[in-house]
Amino acid sequence: MDLKPTLKFLNELSVNNNKDWFDANRKTYENCRKDFITLVSSIIGEIAKFDPELTDVDPKKCIFRINRDIRFSKDKTPYKTNFGALMGANGKKTEGTGFYIHLAPGQNFAGGGIYRPPAETLAAIRQEIDYNPDALQQLLETKDFQETFGEIRGDKLKTAPKGYPKDHPNIDLLRLKSFYVIREFNEKDLVADDFFESLVFTYKSAHTFNAYLKEATS
């Protein structure tokens, strides 16, 4: 798939973020959105081969709206300057683990995990890290994980969560409030012939991480 038109549109939108320009370029946006839906559909088809939860998931239900909610924001620019999709069992409304893709000028990435889980789910993940840290540490130390993601990301508490000592051997992991992994791509990567294959490899690696989180919350 040729992502050059999509990248061009997003770059232009980032410097022309207003309704008049968007309306004048709406046809271009619609074409780029169709291309993104096709990409997401292809990704879902590949992920479903190793994660059956994504079988028959509608790609349109995974894609976030480009319009920003500016009601409570000081930033009144009306549009997001990215295309993003959360691919999970319930599309973008998935509350458990999922897979993500984000295309934006200077900020392109793919990955997986769980973002800001509810308190009960977060407590279960922390308990699993406390009771069964070896499985996670082994995963984090694998060559594939290190080369693809490097580390688990997410906002952290300033101190230890309630019920855990500050000197816990895995305190850095326990302080996390989200658990996700991402692989960044530059614009040259996105137009390379092997980009889609790189995406599939990324999601296979993220699936192994998701499996740990699912086990923790099941």
pLDDT in tens, 94-130: 999 999 999 999 999 999 999 999 999 999 999 999 9
Contact residues for 89 (Cβ-Cβ < 8 A; gap 6+): 53, 54, 57, 96, 98
Strands of the sheet with 108-114, listed across from one edge: 83-87, 98-103, 108-114, 179-185
Residue type (1 letter), 146: Q
d(CA 97, CA 181): 11
Could you tell me the residue ranges of all domains in the chain?
4-217
CATH number for the domain whose boundaries are 4-217: 3.30.930
Confidence of residue 137 (pLDDT cuts 50, 70, 90): very high
Q: Quickly list H helices, 118-180.
A: 119-131, 133-140, 143-148, 171-174
Q: Look up the pTM and report it.
A: 0.94
Residue type (1 letter), 190: L
